[in-house]
Structure 1
Amino acid sequence: MSELLLRLEGVLGALLLRLWRRTLRVVALNQPPIGHPCVYALQHRDLLLLTLQRIDHDIAVMVSRSRDGELIARPLARLGFFPVRGSTSRSGSQALKVMVRLARERSLALTPDGPKGPAGSVQPGILQLALLAQVPIIPVVASASRMWQLDSWDLFRLPHPFSRLTAIYGPEIWVRSREDFPAAEEAIRQAWQNLQSTPLRQ
């Protein structure tokens, strides 16, 4: 795809998402202040829901270096996010180093079960990032009063226009050493489960 088409995709994609966001009634429960030093842990299926909820909040997000990643990164940048291209799968990766540096000035967000699953799993990259940056992990889930669910590995979800979108933020989970990895991984999964059963505000 040419640079011109990529720019056009970024502009139109961001415009569509901003218009979509204006139709939604958004509720956020226990959301930390904008810029709070942390790593938000969200499931891949909630990626669009939470993107719509956090537009213009200056959150650094990890986006793969693939062609699909390029199509995602362009609109995100125009929506007030800070895309970082790469992966946290290797402790010495350049992307991981960038995210650690950015943790001093903005919130971070990762999908620990992405990009290919299994759904609801927690890959070690987010634990490594939290350890190196010395910031807490905050699990978050989202749902909508009416939404479409795709037949994909993650059961990706899209809110209906004019529905209520609710995001629920959980407690901080700290990773002080590598010995904390198993407990932190289980705590993230348990928090997702608990948050999903939280009664939603009408």
Structure 2
Amino acid sequence: MAKKTDIRGTRKQRIIGTVAGWGLRIVGSTLRIKVTDNSGLSGDYPKPVLWAFWHNTVFVMPYVRLKFFRHRKVVVLTSASKDGAVLESAVNVCDIGAVRGSSSRRAVAALIALRKAIQDDGLDVCITPDGPRGPKYTLQPGIIKMAEATGAPLVPIRVEYKNSWRLKTWDAFRIPVPFSRVDVILETPVEIAQGSSDEMFEEQRIAVEKCMQQGLDDLS
């Protein structure tokens, strides 16, 4: 019989995640972060939203939320893998909750939990639409479906590191160099019409993808 996976992660994974979370908070506190908010989230935006940013910019976003958007209650979608367990503990350090699941594992349970978070609890949800395995900078349709199903506007977010280390991972994960500058641009929320035709759905997906790809120097 196959060994049952503990979705909460092991003690070791939780410790690693907590240490990583404090590490990103420490690094984040040194960064010169400039936020350009075209979304209204820094004010009194009245609805829960979907935060969309690329997988390789995850490092800085928990600190950005903690420093600039503390008034927004947020959960993040993480994978059901051991990496997801580590990420869950890391974002908890920045007062962000987590829903475990992905397109490949626990998808139905994750979808139900996310809809509850948005519609019943009024929480924002962070999603990396090219995760957990890519292709890099390709917006998968799941986030568009979520916006359509819940009525939550989708906020495309671009993160531009002026100086960073790039890891040898599928997404070239980036870690900003301490004391460097980071620009975070939140674009205008996108409302996804319910009952869209296949053609309109794809047009909306491509439009959001292109918005998020602006300024990238490693698209190829």
Q: Report the TM-score, using the length of structure 2 for normalisation.
A: 0.79
Partner in structure 2 of residue 200 of structure 1: none
Question: For residues 96-107 of structure 1, what are the structure 2 equivalents within 5 Å?
Answer: 96-104=111-119, 105-107=122-124
Superposition RMSD on alpha carbons, in Å? Answer: 2.5
The answer to whether structure 1 residue 66 and structure 2 residue 87 are counterparts is: no
Q: Which of 6, 15, 23 is equivalent to 2:30? A: 23
Q: Report the TM-score, using the length of structure 1 for normalisation.
A: 0.86
Partner in structure 2 of residue 53 of structure 1: 64
Q: How many aligned positions are there? A: 196
Paired residue type of 1:110: I
Partner in structure 1 of residue 52 of structure 2: 41
Displacement of 1:4 in angstroms is: 4.0
Q: Deviations over 1:108-144 (max 9, x none)?
A: 1111111111111111110111111101111111022
Structure 2 Cα separation of the partners of residues 10 and 49 of structure 1: 15
Q: Which of 92, 97, 102 is equivalent to 1:77? A: 92
Unaligned runs of 5+ in 1: 198-202
**8 Å Cα contact 1:91/1:125 also seen in 2:** no
Residue 113 to residue 162, structure 1, CA distance change in 2 (3 Å): same
Partner in structure 2 of residue 193 of structure 1: 213
Unaligned runs of 5+ in 2: 1-5
Question: For residues 141-180 of structure 1, what are the structure 2 equivalents within 5 Å?
Answer: 141-176=158-193, 177-179=195-197, 180=200
8-17 or 97-106: bigger deviation: 8-17
**Secondary structure at 1:26 match in 2:** strand
Identity %: 27
Partner in structure 1 of residue 204 of structure 2: 184
Q: Deviations over 1:156-198 (max 9, x none)?
A: 111000111111011222211242420111111121133x27x
Paired residue type of 1:186: I
Structure 2 Cα separation of the partners of residues 11 and 123 of structure 1: 29
Structure 1 Cα separation of the partners of residues 106 and 190 of structure 2: 20
